[in-house]
A = this chain, B = another copy of it.
């Protein structure tokens, strides 16, 4: 491979001079600058980034970790974050899958150590508290998004899961529902736990006794199958509403229920979470979803800007809890 030394030789100057022109520094006479540029062009020279990173102790790259890159909700974040880095800063963002369900032999954090200036972790499965502590002790800049993890020195951005769930359940109760089920993905999820708290508190505050939570997994198909099963309980137990952990689950559930002849919202009300654009695909068949919108874009912007500030020690950054908005649309109505 060709190095800075080769360019120096080709152009008849020193490595120092080559370095200066590569980095667009002033104080190089035009004639030499030109020679260097030509040599670079001629030999297809690209600086070796590991060498540069080592010398500069910075990389102009940040790492973004998510549980599963192709998961819908996270994909939006990934998209936004990428664009913000692109548009506003001269930073590259790289992405890593962090699927905790498959015990991975790859230690990304070790792999990536110091080859990155900052870290963004999205979703609670993307990182552990212990890992965060190690990063902080190493002086890294890190922000976590939607994890519920609180570690000194890492900036945390989250959403008011408890309150907004309370609000959604209250909405159902106000409509007259008495038997409302809470559907989550995985019990271990802090998200689930927070929302579960909101669910139970609302039941309690309004004196409802029916109290049932179920975790069904992350996939559309899980929700669809569960809808099929749930139909029975609707008939037997007089269930009239469900609060779902995301929109994909809500759509799956609705499809499963309707398959069994239970119409939404006439016979049954459903609340989703996330307000995914994806749901457009079903828009002509399923009523617009009552759901909860997270201020995703704002969160992404704040995440990127804060990380940037942290990396440049610009100023103190502060944790933030964003408020979600209950979007009442057409999958919830009075029970009949």
Contact = CB atoms under 8 A, between A and B. Distances in A.
A95 B69 contact: yes
Given A69-B82, A248-B281, A112 B97 contact: no
B70 A75 contact: yes
Contact of A1 (B46, B109, B138): B138
B91 A94 contact: no
Contacts of A111: 49, 59-61, 92
B54 A48 contact: yes
Nearest to A53: B50
A96 interface: yes
B44 A137 contact: yes
A316 interface: no
B112 A49 contact: yes
Contacts of A138: 1, 44, 46
A47 B284 contact: no
Contacts of A108: 92
A258 interface: yes
A113 B280 contact: no
Interface in A115-152: 115, 134, 137-139
Interface of A: 1, 44, 46-51, 53-54, 59-61, 63, 68-70, 75-76, 78-79, 82-83, 85-87, 90-97, 99, 102, 104-106, 108-115, 134, 137-139, 220-221, 224, 248, 251-252, 255, 258-259, 278, 280-286
Given A69-B78, A70-B76, 14 more contacts: A1-B114, A1-B138, A44-B138, A46-B110, A47-B110, A49-B50, A50-B115, A51-B54, A53-B115, A61-B111, A92-B112, A93-B96, A281-B281, A282-B285
7 A-B pairs with least C-beta separation: A70-B75, A285-B285, A50-B53, A94-B94, A95-B95, A50-B54, A92-B111
11 contacts: A44-B134, A44-B138, A46-B113, A48-B114, A49-B110, A53-B115, A63-B94, A69-B78, A86-B104, A92-B112, A251-B281
